[in-house]
Amino acid sequence: MSTSISLPTGDQVVQELPWRWRVQGRIFLIGGLGFMFDAWDVTLNGYLIPLLSADWGLTPGQAAWVGTSNLIGMALGAFAWGSIADLIGRRTAFTATLLIFSVFTVLGAFSPDIVWFSIFRFAAGFGLGGCIPVDYALVGEFTPRKHRGRVLTAMDAWWPIGAFLCGVVTTLLVATFGDWRYAMLVMVLPALLVFWVRRSVPESPLYLVQKGRQEEARKVIDSLVERTGGEPVAWRLPEPGTAEKLTLGGLTGQFSGIWRYNWRLTLTAWSLFLTILLVYYGALTWMPKILIEAGYKQSVAFITTAGMTGIGLFGVIAAALLVERVGRKWILGITGPLSAAVLVVFALTVELPLVATLWLLAFGFLIQVAIPVLYTYVSELYPTHLRGSGFGWASTVSRVGAGLVPLIFGSLLWPYLGLPLTFALTGALVLAAVLWMARNAPETRGAELP
């Protein structure tokens, strides 16, 4: 009995396996493509605001719903899908999120007015909001412990790729066809990714172990050991957990569970997500409109925004190189406030195109150092049974804040305070969040997933 208990558990074996591109790398690729389309769809909001404003004669308040409806849907999706993934499994939840946001984005292309458009964008956002927390839970639980920081950080490289492709493809389609609807029809592609997911991705062994599905867990773990060429060792499955059912009580139980686990960590996760992503989504959603209002031609504004998102790929590479050397907290503490400060300088120089573009590129780089490290950090703060919901609730908070950005930014802050002070206010919030993190949350570099 004592010998059995001393054996490593199956989920511990998975975390010590060698990394193989044909095994864990395939899951990284599939999850990354889902993340890429997520970025594409979110970024599309910024381009649609000036396009729909011109096509339907929208006021700034009406145009704000282009982004707000989508982001509020994402907030509800992050709440629901993070918890659902902890209850029904990572693979099933990931498949569902891809289908929902793909189908409703395509339907949005056939909207007759802003009301129907907002309804479809809300529904697409509901599926989209679940993609990130489910993605990170899925990829993270297949990734060996010593590679986890770099792999989860590298996941965010798919975001600037998707955002950049969105800008380039949207600019080309609008220039070619003169109609914004073609830019939305492209989003049929994520639905095709579902078939690859169903064929190539097993359920997370950490999830199976947690739910007490011992035979399924054993098959997945033994297969992973064999396919990666890991050293065969004797291992055991822990005692089965309690298989929860998908109920409202189960969802609210996950919410209370993350606060009972450690309220300081949860407040850290929520505040970091809210403030850092508030800065990012505020810039992403309104940047084309800001540049057009400053006198840039529409095509120039679109390409400049695409450059801001595209250079983020180098930020992600920098984050991947630094995350295991410097640590999560130091990177977030520096790049979060600094990215907001750079936006203030951009706003002060927006009428100088060359100078403003350089500052905008600097922002795109810095914010994409911060965001992947943020995702990695928060996904490591919670144990397996709370990881999806812990990440999902933090993402929900950020999406609620970001969902209000188009309305508050476009109708209140920008018109009355001006760009520099608006960005300065959001930067002060980021600074407060990282100071709280510095005092109340641990460094997770090299730590074993609980």
DSSP structure class, residue 187: G
**Which of residues 352 and 191 earns the better pLDDT score?**
352
Q: What is the mean pLDDT of residues 435-447?
A: 85
Stretch 270-276: mean pLDDT, rounded?
A: 92
Sorting pLDDT into bands at 50, 70 and 90, what band is 272? very high
Q: Is 119 helix (H, G, I), strand (E, B) or coil?
A: helix
Instruction: Give which of 259, 273, 265, 252 is closest to 84, Cα–Cα.
Output: 252
- pLDDT value of residue 91: 83
Mean pLDDT of the chain: 84
3-state secondary structure of 84: helix
User: Above 60 in pLDDT, residue 364?
Assistant: yes
Residue indicated by tokens 């089965």: 240
pLDDT grade for 32, boundaries at 50, 70 and 90: confident
Given pLDDT bands bounded at 50, 70 and 90, which one contains residue 344? very high
Structure tokens belonging to residue 265: 């960590």
Measured CA to CA, the distance from residue 330 to residue 29 in angstroms comes to: 28
Residue 306, pLDDT score: 93
- For the segment 59-68, what is each residue's pLDDT rounded down to a tens digit? 877 888 888 8
Query: Is 410 a residue whose pLDDT tops 70?
Result: no
Question: Residue range 420-426: average pLDDT?
Answer: 89
Q: Compute the distance between CA of residue 42 and CA of residue 401 in angstroms, rounded to an integer.
A: 15
Q: Which domains, from first to last, does the chain contain?
A: 2-229+247-440 (1.20.1250.20)
Q: Indicate the residue type of 251.
A: L
Of 69-73, 305-309, 352-356, 445-449, minimum mean pLDDT range: 445-449
What span, in angstroms and rounded, lies between the C-alpha atoms of 417 and 17?
A: 54
pLDDT at 82 over 70: no
Please indicate whether residue 138 or residue 359 has the higher confidence score (pLDDT): 359
For 9, phi and psi rounded to 5 degrees? -80, 165
Does pLDDT of 5 surpass 60? no
Going from the C-alpha of 119 to that of each of 50, 65, 104, the distances in angstroms are: 19, 10, 9
Res 242: pLDDT:
46
Q: Is the pLDDT of residue 240 over 60?
A: no
The pLDDT of residue 212 is 75
The lowest-confidence range among 39-53, 75-89, 286-300, 399-413 is: 399-413
Tokens of 74: 């994402």
Tell me what the mean pLDDT of segment 396-417 comes to.
Answer: 72
pLDDT at 360: 95
Q: Are 103 and 198 in contact (CB under 8 A)?
A: no
pLDDT score for 246 = 44
Report the C-alpha gap between 263 and 447 in whole angstroms.
20
* Mean of pLDDT values over 292-313: 92
Per-residue pLDDT tens digits for 119-133: 999 999 898 877 777
The per-residue b/e assignment along 59-77, b for 16 or more CB within 10 angstroms, e otherwise, is ebebbbbbbbbbbbbbbbb
Taking 60 as the threshold, does the pLDDT of residue 443 lie above it? yes
> Encoding tokens for residue 156?
């965010």
- Can you tell me whether residue 418 is helix, strand or coil? coil
Assigned token pair, 328: 């999560």
Over range 37-55, report the average pLDDT: 90
pLDDT of residue 346: 96
Phi, psi values for residue 11, rounded to 5°: -70, -30
Secondary structure of residue 204 in the 3-state scheme: coil
Determine the 3-state secondary structure of 139 from DSSP: helix
What is the structure's pLDDT at 331? 94
For residues 83-90, average pLDDT: 78
More confident residue, 404 or 223: 223
Count of Cβ atoms closer than 10 Å to residue 88 Cβ? 18
Helices (H), 57-113: 60-88, 90-108
CA–CA gap between residue 272 and residue 371 (Å, rounded): 10
The residues, ordered by sequence, that sit 6+ positions from 151 with a Cβ below 8 Å of its Cβ are: 19, 24, 28, 139, 140, 143
Mean pLDDT of the region 422-427: 89
Residue 450: pLDDT over 70: no
With H, G, I as helix, E, B as strand and everything else as coil, classify residue 23: coil
pLDDT band at 248 (very low <50, low <70, confident <90, very high): very low
Residue 1 banded pLDDT, cuts 50, 70, 90: very low
Q: CB count, 10 Å around CB of 227?
A: 13
**Rounded Cα gap, residues 85 and 13, in angstroms:** 22
